[in-house]
Amino acid sequence: MLPIGLFGFLGNTLTIFILSRKEMKNSFNRLLVALAVFDNIFICFLLLDYCFVRVFSWPFSQVSYLYILLFPKFIFPLNNIFLCCSVYLICCIAMERYSAVCKPFAYRASNNSDVNQRIFKYLISIIFFSCIVNFSRFFETELITESVNVSIGDSFQVQQRLSFELTELRKHPDYIRFYINWFRLVFTCVLPVSALIFFNCKICKGVRFAHLRSRTTIQKEINLAIILMFIVIVFLFCNIPRILINCYDFMVNNDFVRCPDGFIPNPWILCTTSFSHLCLVFSGSMNFIIYFVGGRNLNSLKTCFRRSPATLNAALDQLQLPQEKTTVVNSPVSETPTFESVLGEGDNFKLVVAETDCC
């Protein structure tokens, strides 16, 4: 987990640096920057809890006073919140690409307004809804003081030690049944996956429709659509173990309710839980590779590693996306205006005629 997480953190940091450049600032790239930020925060929390603390006991151990204070009210709930932020932001990016491909006129009209304000509304809504979904996570554990026997020489001494345990809320049958099982399954699995499948099907249909109408390759839209589809594919496969764990919770719900303190899960579910954490780190770490391989403009980074530092800025200047220009011309057949969108890249221009929305 550690090598994958560190690679993903560095890759996401490089993505933020590249896509934050002035010439790269459009709505799609800004959402990718926000996704990289959410993924980095999630990776940091996951590596801190499941790798550094529990495996290496660094920078503090699992029984240390600081970890006991941080885990119930900070590490555990925020880890879930930023996981939801990443999930919902991927859905938001899919919706943005769907609008660009299938509703081009409405999308361009919205781009005439303040893009920063629209992105800000997206992010505020995502963070707010993620906090609402995971609000009860702050009340699932509580701090307690327990007595432990400490060996001092040949004698034992009873000392008080701070610890945490599950609250009555977390053990309540209705809370387990309706929130842990149903609510989280619907709002973190079923709805996001359904939305991603819907938007990606529409995007594929829209790209194919554009090919048939224009008989021309819309390289930019296809490039962005491919990036999104790979992000979604990696997300879906890496979340399969999490969905299986949720289904397992359904099956053992009655056993846990009857004896919450003495319930012991099967060994295979413990292994699946660890594998699920690895898959989530992998999902957040793979986006940079997707941008690097699938992104036509990010491929210019390959030359950066072969050049001297003096030419790095010149190579980064080549990463900007082609600008869209929209004009209105009169059709020779009819007096009804048609829209011509010119996607320019150097001296090579491609003409795409789009009269109506394609989806």
CATH, residue 241: 1.20.1070.10
Q: What is the DSSP string of 110-177?
A: HHTS-HHHHHHHHHHHHHHHHHHHTGGGGGSEEEEEEEEEEEETTEEEEEEEEEEEE-HHHH-HHIII
The model's pTM is 0.77
pLDDT of residue 213: 55
The CB-side HSE value for 2 (13 A sphere, CA atoms) comes to 9
Tell me if 210 sits within 8 A of 101, measured CB to CB.
yes
What pLDDT, on the 0 to 100 scale, is given for residue 200? Answer: 87
Ordered per-residue pLDDT tens for the chain, 359 residues: 889 999 999 999 998 988 888 777 778 888 999 999 999 999 999 999 988 998 888 888 888 889 998 998 899 999 999 999 999 999 999 998 888 888 877 777 776 667 788 889 999 999 999 999 999 999 999 888 887 777 776 777 777 788 888 898 988 888 988 998 889 989 998 899 999 999 988 888 877 776 555 544 456 666 777 788 888 888 888 988 888 888 887 777 777 777 766 677 778 888 888 898 889 999 888 887 887 776 554 444 444 444 444 444 544 444 444 444 433 434 343 333 333 333 333 333 333 333 345 56
Q: Dihedrals φ, ψ of 179, to 5°?
A: -95, -60
**pLDDT at residue 330, rounded to an integer:** 41
Flag whether 16 is in a domain: yes
Task: Report the alpha-carbon distance of residue 85 to residue 129 in Å, rounded.
Answer: 8
Q: Is residue 337 part of a domain?
A: yes
What domain count does the chain have?
1
Instruction: Tell whether 282 is covered by a domain.
Output: yes
Q: What's the pLDDT score for residue 346?
A: 38
Q: What are the residues facing 348 on neighbouring strands?
A: 345
Contact between residue 162 and residue 145 where contact means Cβ atoms under 8 Å apart: yes
Strand, helix or coil at 274? helix
How many H helices and E strands in the chain? 16, 5
**Domain presence at residue 359:** no
Long-range contacts of 120-123 (CB under 8 A, 24+ apart): 122/31, 122/89, 122/92, 123/34, 123/89
Cα–Cα distance for residue pair 271/268, rounded to 1 Å:
5
The reply to whether 83 falls in a domain is yes
Range of the domain at 154: 2-354
In order, the DSSP letters of 159-222 are EEEEEEEE-HHHH-HHIIIIIIIIIHHIIIIIHHHHHHHHHHHHHHHHHHHHHHHH-S--HHHH
Quick one: pLDDT at residue 333? 39
Q: Count of CB atoms within 10 A of residue 122's CB?
A: 20
Give the β-pairing of 324-330 and 155-166. Answer: unpaired
Residue 310 forms part of a structural domain? yes
- H/E stretch holding 333 reads none
Could you tell me the two tokens for 124? 């505020």
**Is residue 187, in this structure, part of any structural domain at all?**
yes
Residue 356 CA to residue 304 CA, distance in Å, equals 41
Q: Does 143 fall in a domain? A: yes
For the beta sheet containing 348-354, the strands, ordered from the edge strand earlier in sequence to the opposite edge, are 324-330, 337-345, 348-354
Q: Which tokens hold the place of 42?
A: 């999630």
pLDDT at position 39 is 93
